[in-house]
Structure 1
């Protein structure tokens, strides 16, 4: 331990004390930028946690905001694997800046590990109401198009979310997975009377992409069919070219 650590000059306590400057939206931007640089020079996990707080605010002008956030990205990357735990904790606890947290994790870990972190987050959020659904949507968009057996079971509960944007994101993620347990929930969502039209269109797209039959639901599906989708003679949803 160095003398400055002993005196509290550059240790974890100092990092935590800089949070108010990092999240200072008004006043001289040099104060905030100096604090960011100081944190980048500390090699404590607490410094990463404070640097991540910069992503929870937006400052004017937006060019400065973007430049600072990119700078923070590079500062956090310089911590290497030591930054993974604080980033994961930030992702778990904060509703904001999910895309930045995922981008940072992608720069440090193999894709399978980032998928695991995203899946854990989706599982923890599956029964949680959020006034702003952005975090769920970002996580669902992240796993969309990726092939991993953990994804579909984590996505499936989000078909029951209160927010239509979450339902649509979940449907788009489920389509390529061809996850048989999702067939009935997708069909129920499609044919429920209060389902929004745009959610119905996304459900039809998921059924078509999954190659699932609508057997047992044909009459109900026909009643809500939307172009460019149609049902063929084998109870399969098809899309017109």
Structure 2
């Protein structure tokens, strides 16, 4: 349910519903935006004598997942777009590593990127667990780490603990409050939550936060439809269609 938006049609009373889908388009545009703008930050007002400086950027993603493939495409397009602009005094060199959403592997490849590739920034990291371990490594090496992952609730003294970790997303509790506010605005008393199964167990915490936020606006989760991981399904479109058809019969 990362970067979740609300799509729904208010049904006839007494069964108004709101259906949620994970939307990753915003994240991909954020990748593009960061890669276009971040070299200006890295230059830090350097004189033009450093023209044509090559900025090495590391990316840690799950390249075997659908999200990872989309992120890789967005990263490649962003770098190509930036480098094709002849007016830029800096060029980007992208080094992508696969973490498989495994925090230990993410830490290993982060050290490799810093030591062997000498990257000046690391971007990516789909889970908060990955973000914090790489944030520790980045803080010790003084390499900024930009992550689109966010915790359910921001830990105390997070900035002091991970001074080089830049979180590009709000914590889950704020996202869930935003969703609940939309539901409250439309006076939907019962909602259906639809999401892809997360084998890492992160969805349970988000759903708890959503349920709590819904209570504050007088609503509740009527039903949860958990879709199988798309990577495990031969034809995801057909599988989702069948699940939605079954849902309509309930």
TM-score where L is the length of structure 2 = 0.30
**Which of the pair has more CA radius of gyration?**
1
Higher helix share: 1
